[in-house]
Structures are given as C-alpha cells and as structure tokens.
Amino acid sequence: MEKKNKDILKLTKLLKHWADHNDSHKESFLKWRDIAKNNGLDGIVDKLNKAIELMDESTKYLLLAHDELE
C-alpha cells in the first residue's frame, strides 16, 4: 500500500473533525429551535429546521469524503 502524504492524512482528520463539529452545532440548533418553538417564533423554527437539515447533509458529505480517503 502506498504511503499517504501528510496533506492527505491531515485532510482525512479534518473531514472527521468538521463532521463532529457540525454535530455539536446541530445540538445547539436543536436546543434553540425548541426555545424558539416554546416562544411562538414559528418563522425562526422553520429556519432553524432548514439549517439543521442542511447541517445533516453537510455532515453526510464530509463523512463520505472521509470514508473515501481511508
């Protein structure tokens, strides 16, 4: 097996880090979405739900890229 260069190894680690970081942001989004919902801020809830959906999609692609490099 060919030895991976340092940049590719770093990228592999960064992709996983970014995916994990997205998950921590998602937890915060969910918390604040619920607070907005409890305060009747339906427009904010809709926007946070969309942000959560897009964050999940971003995480999916980061992990696909990570898996492809491994």
For the chain, the distance separating the N- and C-terminal CA atoms, rounded to the nearest angstrom, is: 12
Quick one: pLDDT at residue 70?
87
Residue 1 lies in a domain: no
The low-confidence residues of the chain, meaning pLDDT below 50, are 1
Quick one: pLDDT at residue 2?
58
Residue 56 lies in a domain: yes
- 35-46 pLDDT per residue, tens: 999 999 999 999
Exposure string of 6-31, with b = 16+ CB inside 10 Å and e = fewer, is: eeeeeebeebbebbeebeeebeebee
Residue 59 lies in a domain: yes
Residue 65 lies in a domain: yes
Residue 31 lies in a domain: yes
Quick one: pLDDT at residue 3?
63
How many domains does the chain fold into?
Answer: 1
Tell me the backbone φ, ψ of residue 40, rounded to 5 degrees.
70, 25
For 34, the domain range is: 11-69
**Do residues 19 and 59 lie in contact, with contact meaning Cβ atoms separated by under 8 Å?**
yes
Residue 36 lies in a domain: yes
